[in-house]
Copies of this chain bind each other. A is one copy, B any other.
Amino acid sequence: MSETLRVREMACFALHSAARAVTGYYRPLLDRLGLTYPQFLILVALWEADGRTVTALGEELDLDSGTVSPLLKRLEAAGLVERRREAADERVVTVHLTEDGKALEKDGCEIPGTIAAASDMTVEEILALRDQINRFTESIRKNTN
C-alpha cells in the first residue's frame, strides 16, 4: 500500500469494477432474451429447482425480500414466472416457471460459459479465480458487523 490512497490500487474497487464489467458483458446477450442480469439469476435458480419460496431465492442470491419481491413482480409481469401463495402456510409464496420461463433455459444456459472465452482465460483459471473470490467473500461476510 502507498501513503496516498489510489482508486486503481484498491482491491475493493477492482471487485466493484469487475462486477460491472461482467453485467456490461451480459447486457446485450440478455437483452435478446428480454432479461436483466438479476432477473437471469432468478431464472437460473428456478431452472435448477423450480417452485422455490421467495425466501429461498433470496438466500441463494444473497438478496433480501425488498429486492426479490419487485424482481419477481417484473418477471411475473413478463409472463416468465407465477407466484402461488401456499395453502399449508399462507405466509409462504412459491415461485414457478411458466412455459415461457422454461423455454428460456436452452438459450440462457449457454451464456455464462462464454465468459471464459471473453476473459482470455481457461475454464480452469476462471474456476480457480471464482473459488478464491468465494473464499474472500465468505471471510468478509463473517467479519462484517
Chain A residues near B (Cβ < 8 Å): 1, 4-26, 28, 37, 41, 44-45, 47-48, 60-62, 105, 108-109, 112-113, 115, 117-121, 123, 126-127, 129-130, 132-134, 136-137, 139-141, 143-145
Beta-carbon contact of A60 and B7 below 8 Å? yes
Name the B residues within 8 Å of A25 (CB-CB): 140-141, 143-144
Q: In the bound complex, what is the Cα–Cα distance between A121 and B134 (angstroms)? A: 13
Nearest CB of chain B from residue A72's CB, rounded to whole Å: 16
Beta-carbon contact of B132 and A21 below 8 Å? no
Beta-carbon contact of A136 and B119 below 8 Å? yes
Beta-carbon contact of A15 and B19 below 8 Å? yes
Beta-carbon contact of A12 and B22 below 8 Å? yes
What are 11 of the A-B contact pairs (CB < 8 Å)?
A1-B113, A5-B47, A5-B109, A6-B48, A7-B44, A14-B133, A18-B133, A24-B141, A25-B143, A119-B143, A120-B139
Q: In the bound complex, what is the Cα–Cα distance between A57 and B122 (angstroms)? A: 34
